[in-house]
Amino acid sequence: MEHTERPEPLCAAELAAVRRSMTDGRLAMTRRSLLRAGGALAAVAGGMGALSACGIPPAGRTDAGSSDDHSRTEKRLNFSNWTEYMDVTDDGKHRPTLEKFTKRTGIAVNYTEDINDNDEFFGKIQAQLANGQDTGRDLIVLTDWMCARMISLGWIDELDPANLPHAYANLTAQFRSPAWDPGRAHSYPWTGVPAIIAYNKKATGGRTVDSVTQLLEDPKLKGRVGFLTEMRDSIGLTLLDMGKKPESFTADDFDAAIARLQKGVDSKQIRRFTGNDYTTDLDKGDLAACVAWAGDIVQLQSDNPDIAYAIPKAGYTTSTDNLMVPNKARHKQNAERLIDFFYEPKVAARIAAYINYVCPVDGVRDELAKIDKKLAANPLIIPDEKMAARSHSFRALNAKESKQFAQKFSTLTGA
């Protein structure tokens, strides 16, 4: 199959979004990673000069497909992931889950935390993929909208179901068939990342905050409301509150959501748009309520009993970070065996207990309860059917929409 889409250079607004995500985005500055962030961010910043100077250059078409798989003779694989996205011992010297996989299979895992942002990582590997070359990586983890882009370019291998019996059997219904990868032919979710509403009960006087309408219109919250600098989350929740679906909204719907948020900015109802740094303001009560990421709230609640959350009646958005095998991967079968390993409930429970985001594996609750009963009962980690049914995903954008929407959102947030 021939793929002719050409990735275009990032516009100024998209580049600004990359920088925000790298410095205070969803996964860049979790509380666990604060001590390690300085060195990582410096390394990433060093690579941003080329991106900001000329954008990501367009790539030619490719029909690269899979290379010969060397998994039978080379018992290893290279795995790229985000920071703080794998369980580790307290001394930071061991990764128990990966070590267990190696002990069982004899396959050594070269694990690298070199993904700090979707666009930035795309820039690292796109020239090799476009030219039909091995990226040096057998397994990568990217967010759903970037996965959709790479699959559409023909740069991701189809997975072999024969190597994924646990993954096929245990993937939860909520994540089984996204529009951008029907039937999960190319990907399996690493974790789900819900965007919900969080509030500080002391700051709200004990009142519940459970809708975007309340965030934008409640006079008692004026000047103490936060929205996220991640467009898909802030716009997605606003669209839902307006009765629109993030999966199928129009350009006019997007403009209406922007106008609604702009009104909140102009009236000073919204204090500011934030990255992950909202956690400090919410913890102190400087923000009474905000749009928030579920994993952060699980961690905040462990230290502050005043932190609460609500799932809006209109619904909430969930993005996914997904495991994929790039074209020309040298150890595809080894990578598939590792994906399948992650879908064993005991293994999934260990990872969920560490990262605190939605676990996409059925049957994990009992195993997680053996580690931590509170986490096993937390719907932000294991949603029940009612909560899962209220989850929505933000639709994939084409290149033109991506630039236009990013510019409008950038103007709104003052970025």
Among 150, 173, 174, 101, residue whose Cα is nearest residue 340: 101
pLDDT band at 254 (very low <50, low <70, confident <90, very high): very high
Both tokens of 327, joined, read 């074209």
Mean pLDDT of 273-300: 93
One DSSP character per residue, 264-324 reads HHHTT-EEEEESTTHHHHHHHTSSSEEEEEHHHHHHHHTT-TTEEEE--TT-EEEEEEEEE
Domains of the chain: 76-192+320-381 (3.40.190.10), 193-318+399-413 (3.40.190.10)
User: DSSP string covering 70-132, please?
Assistant: -TTT--EEEEEEETT-S---TTSS--HHHHHHHHHH--EEEEEEEES-HHHHHHHHHHHHHTT
Mean pLDDT of the region 315-330:
97
As a whole number, mean pLDDT of residues 338-361 equals: 97
Mean pLDDT across the chain, nearest whole number? 87
Neighbours of 54 (CB within 10 A): 10
Distances (CA, A) of 131 to 125, 147, 186, 401: 10, 19, 20, 26
User: Which tens digit of pLDDT belongs to each residue from 365-386?
Assistant: 999 999 999 999 999 999 998 9
Judged by DSSP in three states, 160 sits in coil
DSSP assignments along 128-147, one per residue: HHHTT---S-SEEEEEHHHH
Q: CA-to-CA distance for 276 and 267, rounded, in angstroms?
A: 24
How sure is the predictor about 329, in pLDDT bands with cuts at 50, 70 and 90?
very high
Q: In sequence order, which residues have a C-beta less than 8 Å from that of residue 291 and are 6 or more positions away?
A: 195, 196, 197, 198, 212, 215, 226, 227, 228, 233, 234, 237
Please write the tens of the pLDDT for every residue from 86-140: 999 999 899 999 999 999 999 999 999 999 888 889 999 999 999 999 999 999 9
pLDDT-based confidence at 257, cuts 50/70/90?
very high
Q: Is the pLDDT of residue 243 over 90?
A: yes
pLDDT band, residue 7 (cuts 50/70/90) = low
- Asked if the model's pLDDT at residue 185 lies above 60, the reply is yes
DSSP label of 209: -
| Res. 1 pLDDT band, cuts 50 70 90 | very low
Structure confidence at residue 399 (pLDDT): 84
Q: How confident is the model at residue 39 (pLDDT cuts 50, 70, 90)?
A: very low
Q: What is the mean pLDDT of residues 29-48?
A: 35
Instruction: Kindly state the greatest CA–CA separation across the chain.
Output: 66
Neighbouring CB atoms inside 10 A of 306's CB total: 16
Decide: pTM greater than 0.85.
no
> Cα-atom radius of gyration of the chain, to the nearest Å?
21
pLDDT at 161 over 90: yes
pLDDT band at 55 (very low <50, low <70, confident <90, very high): very low
Check pLDDT > 70 for residue 176: yes
Task: Provide the pLDDT for residue 117.
Answer: 83
Q: Strand 187-200 and strand 391-392: pairing?
A: unpaired
Residue 152 has pLDDT above 80, yes or no: yes
pLDDT band at 10 (very low <50, low <70, confident <90, very high): low
> Is the pLDDT score of 66 beyond 90?
no
Q: Compute CA 88 distance to the chain's CA centroid, rounded to the nearest angstrom.
A: 20
Task: Check whether 60 has a pLDDT greater than 60.
Answer: no
pLDDT at 186 over 50: yes
